[in-house]
């Protein structure tokens, strides 16, 4: 995620239209959230940050920020709210690794520990082009962060959640603090709640090790000639894969490579 949208004004528009944000009573901030279709399918995910002075910042995928801003603008109706795309004026950096938490208070920036998993580090929102100077740290290869994310099994927006198709509970949003079950009345609530309380989750997004050439996203995963899943994002010898739960036992292959699912510590599976 590397785009930002600002919402300012008296009314808390965001609480009404998003899958509710995990946290204490009222609107929790610096947390993970998602916008869904009425059928409960994924549209956008984002972090919500209190920027002070009545302003909330939504950190989302940069290329999706303009469309999200327009979508929120449609919903404001008579609310005293202004929605604007600030992607061109802001950057997002991530500090990760040992001691990352020491950078959770950067003067002139907004920073917060990743609400999904603390192992993902501290996210820092800065004016465009100023992240390196404000943090005073050398820039690490993006591949290092990708390797960390993939090893933890954390999805990366629309790279791992097909738009208008993916379900949050299949993609780890419950365990990764993206849904608050005490908050109601949000778009897509009915399917999300029914999926949880009726135990309808039959597939999950897993981190996998790839033994062989990394298959392209969308490559089918097979077990004994039967399709049981699909490769999503990946790098090196790691990837995320959507897999049927009953397919976790047995030899899996995709595009000629052997696929080995790994259950992360945070993931909860049915007994």
The tokens of 237 are what? 């010898």
pLDDT bracket for residue 21 (50, 70, 90): very low
Task: Give yes or no for residue 152 having a pLDDT over 90.
Answer: yes
User: pLDDT tens-digit profile of 91-110?
Assistant: 999 999 999 998 888 888 99
DSSP state, 117? -
Q: How would residue 79 be classed by pLDDT, with cut points 50, 70 and 90?
A: confident
Task: Output Rg (C-alpha) for the chain, integer angstroms.
Answer: 19
Mean pLDDT is lowest, of 51-55, 124-128, 201-205, for 51-55
What span, in angstroms and rounded, lies between the C-alpha atoms of 239 and 9? 41
Q: Is residue 227 very low, low, confident or very high in pLDDT (cuts 50, 70, 90)? A: very high
- pLDDT number for residue 30: 57
Q: Please state the rounded mean pLDDT for residues 241-252.
A: 95
The DSSP secondary-structure symbol of 19 reads B
pLDDT at 232 over 90: yes
Between CA 15 and CA 28 the distance in angstroms is 9
pLDDT of residue 11: 42
How far is residue 69 from each of residues 60, 164, 186, measured CA to CA in Å?
11, 18, 18
* pLDDT tens digits along 40-68: 999 999 998 888 888 888 999 989 998 88
Lowest mean pLDDT among 19-33, 149-163, 166-180, 214-228: 19-33
| Residue 29 to residue 21: CA distance in whole angstroms | 8
Here the tokens at position 229 are: 């899943």
Question: How high does pLDDT run on average in the chain?
Answer: 87
Closest CA to 36 of 177, 218, 188: 188
8 Å CB contact between 92 and 20: no
Q: In what order do the strands lie in the sheet with 42-52?
A: 31-36, 42-52, 55-60, 3-9, 81-85
- Residue pLDDT, tens place only, 167-197: 999 999 999 999 988 877 888 999 999 999 9
User: Would you list the DSSP string of 144-205?
Assistant: HHHHHHHHHT---GGGTS-TTT--GGGGTTTTTT---TT----TTHHHHHHHHHTT---EEE
Cα 61 from Cα 64, distance rounded (Å): 5
pLDDT for 146 equals 97
Rounded Cα distance between 20 and 35, Å, is: 9
């Amino acid at each position: 995620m590397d785009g930002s949208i600002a919402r300012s004004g008296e009314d808390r528009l965001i609480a009404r239209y998003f899958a509710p944000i995990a946290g204490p009573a009222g609107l929790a901030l610096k947390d993970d959230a998602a916008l869904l279709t009425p059928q409960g399918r994924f549209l956008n995910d984002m972090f919500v940050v209190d920027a002070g002075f009545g302003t909330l910042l939504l950190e989302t995928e940069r290329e999706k920020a303009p469309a999200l801003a327009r979508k929120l603008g449609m919903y404001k109706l008579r609310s005293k709210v202004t929605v604007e795309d600030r992607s061109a004026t802001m950057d997002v950096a991530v500090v990760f690794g040992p001691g990352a938490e020491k950078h959770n208070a950067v003067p002139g920036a907004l920073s917060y520990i990743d609400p999904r998993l603390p192992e993902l580090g501290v996210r820092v929102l800065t004016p465009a082009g100023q992240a390196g100077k404000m943090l005073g740290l050398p820039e690490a290869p993006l591949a290092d962060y990708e390797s960390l994310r993939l090893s933890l099994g954390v999805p990366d927006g629309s790279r791992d959640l097909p738009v208008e198709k993916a379900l949050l509970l299949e993609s780890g949003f419950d365990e990764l603090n993206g849904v608050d079950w005490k908050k109601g009345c949000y778009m897509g609530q009915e399917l999300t709640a029914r999926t949880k309380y009726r135990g309808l989750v039959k597939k999950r997004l897993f981190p996998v090790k790839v033994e062989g050439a990394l298959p392209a996203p969308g490559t089918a995963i097979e077990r004994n000639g039967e399709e049981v899943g699909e490769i999503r994002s990946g790098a090196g010898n790691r990837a995320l894969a959507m897999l049927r739960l009953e397919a976790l036992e047995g030899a899996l292959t995709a595009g000629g490579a052997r696929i080995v699912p790994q259950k992360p510590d945070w993931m909860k599976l049915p007994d």
